[in-house]
Amino acid sequence: MITLAGIIGSGKSSLTKLLSQELNTTPFFEPVTDNPVLPLFYKGNELAAKKRAAGATDVTNPYTYLLQTFFLNRRFKMIKEAMRGDNNILDRSIYEDAMFMRMNTELGNATQIEYQIYQELLKNMLDEIKLATPKNHKDLMILIKVSYPTMIKRIEKRGREYEQVTNDPSLVDYYKRLLEFYDEWERTYDKSPLLVIDGDKYDFVENKSDRQFVLNTIADTLLDMGKISRDEHLKLYTEN
Protein backbone atom coordinates (compact mmCIF):
# COMPACT_ATOMS: atom_id res chain seq x y z
CA MET A 1 0.00 0.00 0.00
CA ILE A 2 1.33 3.40 -1.03
CA THR A 3 0.15 6.52 0.79
CA LEU A 4 0.71 10.08 -0.36
CA ALA A 5 1.19 13.19 1.74
CA GLY A 6 1.43 16.87 0.92
CA ILE A 7 -0.15 20.24 1.42
CA ILE A 8 -3.18 21.51 -0.48
CA GLY A 9 -2.32 21.81 -4.18
CA SER A 10 0.82 19.67 -4.01
CA GLY A 11 -0.49 17.20 -6.59
CA LYS A 12 -1.43 14.20 -4.42
CA SER A 13 -4.54 13.30 -6.40
CA SER A 14 -2.73 13.63 -9.73
CA LEU A 15 0.15 11.40 -8.62
CA THR A 16 -2.27 8.91 -7.09
CA LYS A 17 -4.04 8.61 -10.44
CA LEU A 18 -0.74 8.24 -12.34
CA LEU A 19 0.56 5.58 -9.97
CA SER A 20 -2.68 3.61 -10.02
CA GLN A 21 -2.49 3.52 -13.83
CA GLU A 22 1.19 2.55 -13.88
CA LEU A 23 0.82 -0.13 -11.19
CA ASN A 24 -2.63 -1.28 -12.34
CA THR A 25 -4.13 -0.93 -8.89
CA THR A 26 -6.97 0.78 -7.04
CA PRO A 27 -6.74 4.48 -6.07
CA PHE A 28 -8.45 5.84 -2.96
CA PHE A 29 -9.06 9.58 -3.12
CA GLU A 30 -9.48 12.13 -0.34
CA PRO A 31 -13.14 13.09 0.25
CA VAL A 32 -13.39 16.67 -1.02
CA THR A 33 -16.15 16.95 -3.63
CA ASP A 34 -18.61 15.09 -1.39
CA ASN A 35 -17.53 16.84 1.80
CA PRO A 36 -20.34 19.14 3.04
CA VAL A 37 -18.24 20.43 5.96
CA LEU A 38 -15.16 21.74 4.10
CA PRO A 39 -16.73 24.98 2.74
CA LEU A 40 -18.23 25.63 6.19
CA PHE A 41 -14.81 25.18 7.80
CA TYR A 42 -13.18 27.73 5.50
CA LYS A 43 -16.02 30.19 6.14
CA GLY A 44 -15.67 29.58 9.88
CA ASN A 45 -11.93 30.32 9.69
CA GLU A 46 -12.62 33.57 7.86
CA LEU A 47 -15.20 34.72 10.42
CA ALA A 48 -12.97 33.73 13.36
CA ALA A 49 -10.03 35.68 11.87
CA LYS A 50 -12.19 38.79 11.48
CA LYS A 51 -13.38 38.57 15.09
CA ARG A 52 -9.81 38.21 16.36
CA ALA A 53 -8.72 41.18 14.27
CA ALA A 54 -11.50 43.19 15.91
CA GLY A 55 -10.11 42.33 19.34
CA ALA A 56 -12.23 39.33 20.34
CA THR A 57 -10.60 36.56 22.39
CA ASP A 58 -11.31 32.83 22.81
CA VAL A 59 -12.79 32.68 19.31
CA THR A 60 -12.96 29.21 17.77
CA ASN A 61 -14.11 27.87 14.43
CA PRO A 62 -17.22 25.82 15.28
CA TYR A 63 -16.63 23.54 12.28
CA THR A 64 -13.02 22.51 13.05
CA TYR A 65 -13.76 19.47 15.19
CA LEU A 66 -16.60 18.44 12.88
CA LEU A 67 -14.34 18.64 9.82
CA GLN A 68 -11.44 16.77 11.40
CA THR A 69 -13.66 13.94 12.66
CA PHE A 70 -15.31 13.78 9.21
CA PHE A 71 -11.89 13.36 7.57
CA LEU A 72 -10.70 10.95 10.25
CA ASN A 73 -13.73 8.71 9.84
CA ARG A 74 -13.43 8.70 6.03
CA ARG A 75 -9.70 8.00 6.06
CA PHE A 76 -10.09 5.23 8.61
CA LYS A 77 -12.65 3.63 6.32
CA MET A 78 -10.37 4.14 3.28
CA ILE A 79 -7.30 2.61 4.87
CA LYS A 80 -9.29 -0.43 6.09
CA GLU A 81 -10.64 -0.96 2.57
CA ALA A 82 -7.17 -0.57 1.07
CA MET A 83 -5.68 -3.07 3.54
CA ARG A 84 -8.12 -5.74 2.33
CA GLY A 85 -6.41 -5.84 -1.06
CA ASP A 86 -2.91 -5.60 -2.49
CA ASN A 87 -1.02 -2.69 -4.06
CA ASN A 88 -3.55 0.04 -3.31
CA ILE A 89 -2.81 3.78 -3.27
CA LEU A 90 -4.26 6.47 -0.98
CA ASP A 91 -3.97 10.15 -1.89
CA ARG A 92 -3.89 11.11 1.79
CA SER A 93 -3.69 8.90 4.85
CA ILE A 94 -4.77 8.93 8.45
CA TYR A 95 -1.16 9.61 9.50
CA GLU A 96 -1.37 13.33 8.68
CA ASP A 97 -4.61 14.02 10.51
CA ALA A 98 -3.15 14.77 13.94
CA MET A 99 -1.02 17.54 12.42
CA PHE A 100 -4.08 19.39 11.11
CA MET A 101 -5.94 19.14 14.40
CA ARG A 102 -2.91 20.24 16.43
CA MET A 103 -2.34 23.26 14.20
CA ASN A 104 -5.98 24.31 14.38
CA THR A 105 -5.92 23.96 18.14
CA GLU A 106 -2.79 26.13 18.39
CA LEU A 107 -4.45 28.71 16.12
CA GLY A 108 -7.44 28.79 18.43
CA ASN A 109 -9.84 27.21 15.94
CA ALA A 110 -10.44 24.22 18.25
CA THR A 111 -10.51 23.87 22.04
CA GLN A 112 -8.14 21.77 24.13
CA ILE A 113 -11.05 19.50 25.08
CA GLU A 114 -11.87 18.91 21.41
CA TYR A 115 -8.20 18.19 20.72
CA GLN A 116 -7.99 15.70 23.59
CA ILE A 117 -11.12 13.83 22.47
CA TYR A 118 -9.82 13.80 18.89
CA GLN A 119 -6.45 12.41 20.00
CA GLU A 120 -8.13 9.59 21.91
CA LEU A 121 -10.26 8.71 18.89
CA LEU A 122 -7.24 8.76 16.56
CA LYS A 123 -5.21 6.56 18.93
CA ASN A 124 -7.98 3.95 19.02
CA MET A 125 -8.09 3.91 15.21
CA LEU A 126 -4.30 3.65 14.83
CA ASP A 127 -4.22 0.81 17.37
CA GLU A 128 -6.79 -1.09 15.32
CA ILE A 129 -4.80 -0.51 12.10
CA LYS A 130 -1.64 -1.73 13.83
CA LEU A 131 -3.39 -4.90 15.00
CA ALA A 132 -4.64 -5.57 11.48
CA THR A 133 -1.23 -5.02 9.86
CA PRO A 134 1.00 -8.06 9.29
CA LYS A 135 4.17 -8.09 11.38
CA ASN A 136 7.18 -6.43 9.72
CA HIS A 137 4.93 -5.07 6.97
CA LYS A 138 6.25 -1.77 5.62
CA ASP A 139 4.28 0.48 3.30
CA LEU A 140 5.68 3.43 1.36
CA MET A 141 4.79 7.02 2.19
CA ILE A 142 5.42 9.57 -0.57
CA LEU A 143 5.61 13.23 0.47
CA ILE A 144 5.24 15.84 -2.27
CA LYS A 145 6.95 19.02 -1.07
CA VAL A 146 6.03 22.36 -2.64
CA SER A 147 6.75 25.97 -1.76
CA TYR A 148 4.11 28.58 -0.99
CA PRO A 149 4.18 30.13 -4.52
CA THR A 150 3.73 26.73 -6.18
CA MET A 151 0.94 25.85 -3.77
CA ILE A 152 -0.94 29.09 -4.46
CA LYS A 153 -0.48 28.75 -8.22
CA ARG A 154 -2.06 25.29 -8.18
CA ILE A 155 -4.87 26.34 -5.83
CA GLU A 156 -5.72 29.17 -8.22
CA LYS A 157 -5.62 26.79 -11.17
CA ARG A 158 -8.11 24.30 -9.73
CA GLY A 159 -10.42 27.14 -8.74
CA ARG A 160 -12.17 26.11 -5.54
CA GLU A 161 -13.55 29.43 -4.29
CA TYR A 162 -13.23 28.68 -0.58
CA GLU A 163 -9.47 27.93 -0.94
CA GLN A 164 -8.51 31.22 -2.62
CA VAL A 165 -6.42 33.75 -0.69
CA THR A 166 -7.96 36.50 -2.82
CA ASN A 167 -11.33 35.67 -1.26
CA ASP A 168 -10.00 35.19 2.27
CA PRO A 169 -6.69 36.94 3.10
CA SER A 170 -6.48 35.08 6.44
CA LEU A 171 -5.62 31.95 4.44
CA VAL A 172 -2.15 33.37 3.71
CA ASP A 173 -1.11 32.89 7.33
CA TYR A 174 -3.01 29.59 7.57
CA TYR A 175 -1.26 28.11 4.52
CA LYS A 176 2.20 29.31 5.56
CA ARG A 177 1.75 27.84 9.04
CA LEU A 178 0.63 24.58 7.45
CA LEU A 179 3.83 24.44 5.39
CA GLU A 180 5.83 24.77 8.62
CA PHE A 181 3.83 21.96 10.20
CA TYR A 182 4.55 19.75 7.16
CA ASP A 183 8.28 20.40 7.61
CA GLU A 184 8.01 19.15 11.19
CA TRP A 185 5.86 16.19 10.10
CA GLU A 186 8.52 15.20 7.56
CA ARG A 187 11.21 15.21 10.26
CA THR A 188 9.20 13.08 12.70
CA TYR A 189 7.30 10.62 10.47
CA ASP A 190 8.35 7.06 11.33
CA LYS A 191 5.45 4.75 10.40
CA SER A 192 7.05 3.51 7.18
CA PRO A 193 9.79 4.36 4.65
CA LEU A 194 9.39 7.94 3.39
CA LEU A 195 10.15 9.11 -0.14
CA VAL A 196 10.22 12.90 -0.67
CA ILE A 197 9.41 14.33 -4.11
CA ASP A 198 10.35 17.94 -4.93
CA GLY A 199 7.07 19.26 -6.32
CA ASP A 200 8.64 22.61 -7.22
CA LYS A 201 11.36 21.02 -9.34
CA TYR A 202 9.37 18.19 -10.91
CA ASP A 203 6.02 18.98 -12.55
CA PHE A 204 4.81 15.42 -13.02
CA VAL A 205 1.41 16.61 -14.28
CA GLU A 206 2.38 18.92 -17.15
CA ASN A 207 5.96 17.85 -17.97
CA LYS A 208 6.47 14.38 -19.49
CA SER A 209 10.17 14.08 -18.62
CA ASP A 210 9.49 15.17 -15.03
CA ARG A 211 6.70 12.60 -14.83
CA GLN A 212 9.04 9.88 -16.07
CA PHE A 213 11.69 10.85 -13.53
CA VAL A 214 9.22 10.80 -10.60
CA LEU A 215 7.64 7.48 -11.63
CA ASN A 216 11.07 5.91 -12.14
CA THR A 217 12.22 7.17 -8.74
CA ILE A 218 9.20 5.54 -7.13
CA ALA A 219 9.86 2.33 -9.06
CA ASP A 220 13.48 2.32 -7.82
CA THR A 221 12.28 2.77 -4.24
CA LEU A 222 9.74 -0.06 -4.52
CA LEU A 223 12.45 -2.33 -5.93
CA ASP A 224 14.84 -1.46 -3.08
CA MET A 225 12.06 -2.22 -0.60
CA GLY A 226 11.41 -5.60 -2.21
CA LYS A 227 7.85 -4.62 -3.14
CA ILE A 228 8.29 -5.28 -6.86
CA SER A 229 10.43 -7.74 -8.79
CA ARG A 230 13.20 -6.76 -11.20
CA ASP A 231 10.96 -7.78 -14.10
CA GLU A 232 8.16 -5.52 -12.77
CA HIS A 233 10.70 -2.74 -12.25
CA LEU A 234 11.95 -3.06 -15.82
CA LYS A 235 8.37 -3.09 -17.11
CA LEU A 236 7.61 0.18 -15.30
CA TYR A 237 10.70 1.79 -16.84
CA THR A 238 9.77 0.52 -20.29
CA GLU A 239 6.20 1.79 -20.01
CA ASN A 240 7.42 5.22 -18.96
Residue-wise pLDDT for 170-222, tens only, equals: 889 989 999 999 999 999 998 889 999 999 999 998 999 999 999 999 999 99
Catalytic entry in 91, 183, 220, 231: 91
Please say if the pLDDT value at position 148 is more than 70.
Answer: yes
Q: Is the pTM higher than 0.85?
A: yes
Please say if the pLDDT value at position 161 is more than 90.
Answer: no
User: What integer pLDDT is reported at residue 35 of this predicted model?
Assistant: 82
User: What integer pLDDT is reported at residue 134 of this predicted model?
Assistant: 64
Cα radius of gyration (the chain): 19
Q: Provide the 3-class DSSP secondary structure of residue 138.
A: coil
Q: Is 91 a catalytic residue?
A: yes
Domains of the chain in sequence order: 2-239 (3.40.50.300)
CB 106 within 8 A of CB 61: no
Handedness of CA 148, 151, 157, 158 (dihedral sign): negative
- Segment among 10-14, 124-128, 133-137, 165-169 with least mean pLDDT: 133-137
Q: Provide the 3-class DSSP secondary structure of residue 196.
A: strand
